[in-house]
Amino acid sequence: GAVVSQHPSWVICKSGTSVKIECRSLDFQATTMFWYRQFPKQSLMLMATSNEGSKATYEQGVEKDKFLINHASLTLSTLTVTSAHPEDSSFYICSAHSGGRENEKLFFGSGTQLSVL
């Protein structure tokens, strides 16, 4: 099946710094990628939809200036957590589908555990 690579797997940073997470589709072109956040024992919450070549669409309550998304190519989307604070500590997961209307066939990255000290 299709592979989505997410990097890094773990990141620990100091409060106030920025962290960039990369999401790559390795064997298909992803016109749309999705970014989720998952707190312990909680569900995946959609943060934003990343569209290649255009601005991302953010879900209600997600600060677009804090969570910067760049989808500059058909195989790469990045999420930058700016001025991270301890409350931003979470598991961030990206996903992508190769197009078409069956977006239930999402392929997920392996996730990034962010810990802000």
Partner 1 sequence: QKEVEQDPGPLSVPEGAIVSLNCTYSNSAFQYFMWYRQYSRKGPELLMYTYSSGNKEDGRFTAQVDKSSKYISLFIRDSQPSDSATYLCARKKNRDDKIIFGKGTRLHILP
Binders of partner 1 in range 94-113 (CB under 8 A): 94-95, 101-106, 108-111, 113
Asked if 62 is part of the footprint of partner 1 (rule: CB under 8 A), the reply reads no
Residue 53, C-beta contacts closer than 8 angstroms, at least 6 positions apart: 71, 72
49 is an interface residue for partner 1 by CB under 8 A? yes
Residue 93 engages partner 1 in binding (rule: CB under 8 A): yes
- CA 22 to chain CA centroid, Å, is 7
CB of 46 to partner 1, least distance (A): 6
In whole angstroms, what is the distance from residue 10 CA to residue 33 CA?
A: 20
Report phi then psi at 34, rounded to 5.
-125, 145
Cβ 3 to partner 1, closest distance in Å? 11
Closer residue to partner 1 (CB): 3 or 72: 3
> Of 61, 52, 44, 60, which is closest to residue 23 (Cα–Cα)?
52
| Contact residues for partner 1, defined by CB under 8 A | 4, 6, 9, 41-44, 46, 49, 91, 93-95, 101-106, 108-111, 113
